């Protein structure tokens, strides 16, 4: 997608991990060690003014925000943060061809880190150029990285998904598209509703061309007992707080 827009794409010669899994589990010393190496890899590009493009929103948010918090006195952290962009922020001002999706609906789940750190304005501008009807969901998908994967969190994860994600997928038109750059968001939609999501880059390169593709939920999530066995379909009042 970037090359089609006229950019030369450079890949770092060694791994430049954002360390998010370490940050989200409170292993900040290990995260600093990981990010120290990452800064060594990325700072030569930042010093030359080369944009650092993040594909996964949570990784991008680390470089834009957490990195400065973890290294407040390191000028490399501020420089890398200033040079880091989402792919939408890089593409929005370029003359790119977008697919004509007139008559279709795009159900969009902005990633929580994207919402709080980078914003969704650039993505929205690009999506509007497709001619599709945009349904932008508000709120967290409920998976939240490793949170929804941990024992004892399933019911909470599904309850959060019921705020916006699952209703949005249940109400989606048959020929709609589910768009989510966040890996966790796509995983949640696939696990709970059997909906396969796509990223902005996939959408712009023709990923929605199949008429069989649909964002409409194919099933409902199943509640779990503490032992992990299916208990009942989500929708019945919760015994503790009467939520649905």
The model's pLDDT over 124-183, given as tens digits with 9 standing for 90+, comes to 999 999 999 999 998 899 898 778 888 888 899 999 999 999 999 999 998 899 999 999
For β-strands 133-136 and 52-54, DSSP reports them as: unpaired
CA distances from 95 to 3, 4, 27 (A): 12, 10, 42
Reported as a single tens digit per residue, the pLDDT across 178-203 is 999 999 999 999 999 999 999 999 99
Q: In whole angstroms, give the CA distance from residue 98 to residue 226.
A: 47
CA distances from 185 to 19, 123, 128, 140, 174 (A): 19, 16, 21, 8, 20
The whole-number pLDDT of residue 145 equals 78
Closest Cα to residue 86, out of 124, 56, 113? 56
For the chain, give the percent of residues with pLDDT over 70.
89
* Cβ atoms of residues 132 and 105 within 8 Å: yes
Average pLDDT over residues 92-119: 90
> What are the residues facing 52 on neighbouring strands?
84
The whole-number pLDDT of residue 114 equals 86
Three-class secondary structure of residue 143 per DSSP: coil
* Cβ atoms of residues 107 and 170 within 8 Å: no
Please determine, for residue 47, whether its predicted confidence score (pLDDT) is greater than 90. yes
Average pLDDT over residues 45-68: 94
Average pLDDT over residues 63-84: 96
Average pLDDT over residues 64-69: 96
Report residue 217's pLDDT band, with 50, 70 and 90 as the boundaries: confident
Report residue 210's pLDDT band, with 50, 70 and 90 as the boundaries: low
Pick the more confident residue, 24 or 229: 24
Please determine, for residue 63, whether its predicted confidence score (pLDDT) is greater than 90. yes
């Amino acid at each position: 997608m970037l090359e089609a827009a006229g950019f030369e794409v450079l890949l770092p010669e060694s791994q430049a991990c954002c360390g998010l899994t370490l940050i989200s589990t409170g292993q900040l010393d290990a995260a600093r060690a990981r990010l120290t190496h990452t800064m060594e890899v990325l700072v030569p590009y930042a010093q030359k003014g080369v944009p650092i493009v993040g594909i996964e929103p949570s990784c991008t948010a680390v470089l834009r925000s957490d990195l400065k918090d973890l290294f407040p006195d390191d000028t490399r952290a501020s420089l890398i943060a200033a040079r880091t962009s989402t792919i939408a922020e890089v593409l929005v001002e370029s003359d790119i061809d977008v697919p004509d999706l007139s008559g279709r609906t795009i159900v969009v789940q902005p990633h929580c880190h994207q919402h709080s750190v980078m914003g969704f304005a650039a993505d929205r501008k690009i999506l509007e150029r497709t001619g599709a009807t945009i349904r932008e969901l508000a709120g967290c998908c409920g998976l939240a990285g490793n949170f929804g994967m941990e024992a004892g969190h399933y019911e909470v994860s599904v309850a959060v998904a019921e705020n916006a994600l699952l209703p949005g997928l249940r109400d989606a038109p048959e020929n709609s598209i589910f768009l989510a750059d966040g890996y966790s968001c796509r995983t949640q939609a696939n696990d709970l509703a059997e909906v396969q999501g796509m990223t902005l880059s996939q959408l712009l390169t023709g990923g929605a061309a199949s008429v069989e593709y649909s964002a409409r939920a194919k099933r409902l999530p199943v509640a779990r007992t503490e032992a992990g066995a299916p208990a009942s379909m989500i929708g019945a009042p919760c015994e503790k707080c009467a939520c649905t």
